Structure 1
Amino acid sequence: MADYRIREYRDEDYEMVRELFATGMSEYVPALCVHVLKQPWVILVLACTFCILLTSSKSLLLPILAITLLLATGRQLLGYFWTMYIEHCLKEDLLDIRTTYMGSKGSCFWVAEADECVVGTVAARPSDDQEGELMLKRMSVRKDYRGLGVAKALCQAVICFAQQQGCRAVVLNTLMVQDEARLMYERVGFAKYRDDVLPTVYGRLANVTISKYRYSVPRRS
């Protein structure tokens, strides 16, 4: 068991929390690229481009170079859009963590601390969809501390908080590329109840799926 402790957020954690979130989210770019490459329309475009260039040029080199360029350009575009998403998050609730999560009833932000460094984060605030439900947000664990029970301990902090607040459930959203996170949530006791495609042009084109999970909070005895 790693030597860490779960505690509430303090102002001096600000930069470490934001850096941990940005670094953790950046890790999903390769998985996102693979996901997009598996989409039927992408495979069709690449195949048609290759066949057309091969037929017109009578050379294998040109279509290979063209496909390589298309893949490299797509990788850069996906990385750019993902970076914009991360920046958007940093300018929303993570811009003023204390006001967003520590300044109102029913919200809180926790960190996992080890060797005087923040190695994990999680937040909770009332759900916008259903009254009496708590939304788990901003779960992130530093790469070298994964698999040591940190994420599970952070989940338990949220569940205990929900129980204290008299909430009937904890809910959360995960993206289709967050396989490890989904497995961890399911081991804790969360159950998936719905899959939604991100309602944007990019979301539909890339088939970006959001999985919604719920944990039924036991009543306090």
Structure 2
Amino acid sequence: MSHFRIRRYQEEDFEAVWDIFTRGTLEHVPITFRHLLKQARTYLLLLGIPLALFVGSKPIFPGLLALPVLLAATWFIIRLPWTDYIKNARRTDMSDIRKFYLSEEGSCFWVAESAGRVVGMVGCLPEEGPTRGGKKLQLLHMYVDRGHRGRGIAKALARTLLQFARARGYAEVTLTTSSVQYAAHRLYESLGFFKVRESFCSLSWRLVAIPFFHYKYPIPPLP
């Protein structure tokens, strides 16, 4: 097993970071598709429309074509919120990582490097707006390349961020993750994060029945 190290992001890392981010985000599309197929309303749609076409028309072709067409449309609808998420990131914080994450003392962006290659990433920004109980730091964009998972890289990235938060005097670390990111839930909960609430971030996420979980990690004060 090759070793890895965690270091601060550098400008030459951008292409590798963006590739990990986009591929990691799109991995959630098939998971979301399977999740939606388990919903009762999806069954009604996928079975009800073809059945109605079979009953209401003499040619059988419309009924035969209806199911694959509906499945393709469902896949397209499910893919939209994930691709919108990628596009929004490209317009905002991921457009210039150094500017958004490395220009202030209270934020940072790290990568995991193995054999000279970037294989993981995580960033953090101060939570905006009024906060109760002290400063809060948001964990953002935790991703590890598929071929390098199971080696403790994500846990090392998270612990690096938690150490940073403690050293900078933050009272807690917060994060938001979708309900279908099961491995992420297990990781964060193993580190001491706990879920405080869930919500739908937009109408498109509500349509695909994907709520988001909001976690927090209280940082004990230094002795």
Using structure 2 for the length normalisation, give the TM-score: 0.92
Check if 1:195 corresponds to 2:185. no
Which amino acid letter does the alignment assign opposite residue 28 of structure 1? H
Tell me if the contact between 1:134 and 1:162 (Cα under 8 Å) persists in the aligned partners.
yes
Q: How does 1:138-217 map to 2 (within 5 A)?
A: 138-198=141-201, 200-217=202-219
Q: Which runs of 5+ in 1 are unaligned?
A: none
Aligned partners of 1:169, 1:64: CA distance in 2, in Å? 55
Aligned to 1:96: 96
Tell me if the contact between 2:2 and 2:115 (Cα under 8 Å) persists in the aligned partners.
no
Q: Which runs of 5+ in 2 are unaligned?
A: none
Tell me if the contact between 2:135 and 2:169 (Cα under 8 Å) persists in the aligned partners.
yes
Aligned to 2:4: 4
Check if 1:71 corresponds to 2:58. no
Tell me if the contact between 2:179 and 2:211 (Cα under 8 Å) persists in the aligned partners.
yes
1:183-218 Cα distance to aligned partner (Å, 9 max, x none)? 1111111111111122x3222222220101111112
Using structure 1 for the length normalisation, give the TM-score: 0.92
Aligned partners of 1:147, 1:59: CA distance in 2, in Å? 53
SS at match of 1:195: strand
Tell me if the contact between 1:126 and 1:132 (Cα under 8 Å) persists in the aligned partners.
yes
Tell me if the contact between 2:46 and 2:67 (Cα under 8 Å) persists in the aligned partners.
yes
Aligned partners of 1:154, 1:74: CA distance in 2, in Å? 35
Aligned partners of 1:193, 1:25: CA distance in 2, in Å? 23
Tell me if the contact between 2:121 and 2:141 (Cα under 8 Å) persists in the aligned partners.
yes
Aligned partners of 1:9, 1:205: CA distance in 2, in Å? 36
Over the residues paired in the alignment, what is the CA RMSD in angstroms? Answer: 1.7
Q: How does 1:77-116 map to 2 (within 5 A)?
A: 77-116=77-116
SS at match of 1:167: coil
41-50 or 93-102, larger mean C-alpha shift: 41-50
Aligned partners of 1:83, 1:201: CA distance in 2, in Å? 15
Aligned partners of 2:109, 2:135: CA distance in 1, in Å? 18
How far off its partner does 1:81 sit? 4.2
Aligned partners of 2:191, 2:58: CA distance in 1, in Å? 57
Tell me if the contact between 1:3 and 1:114 (Cα under 8 Å) persists in the aligned partners.
yes
Aligned to 1:29: 29
1:86-122 Cα distance to aligned partner (Å, 9 max, x none)? 1221221010000100001210001101111111000
Identical-pair percentage: 37
Aligned to 1:133: 136
1-10 or 169-178, larger mean C-alpha shift: 1-10
Aligned partners of 2:219, 2:61: CA distance in 1, in Å? 60
1:164-197 Cα distance to aligned partner (Å, 9 max, x none)? 1111111100001111111111111111111112
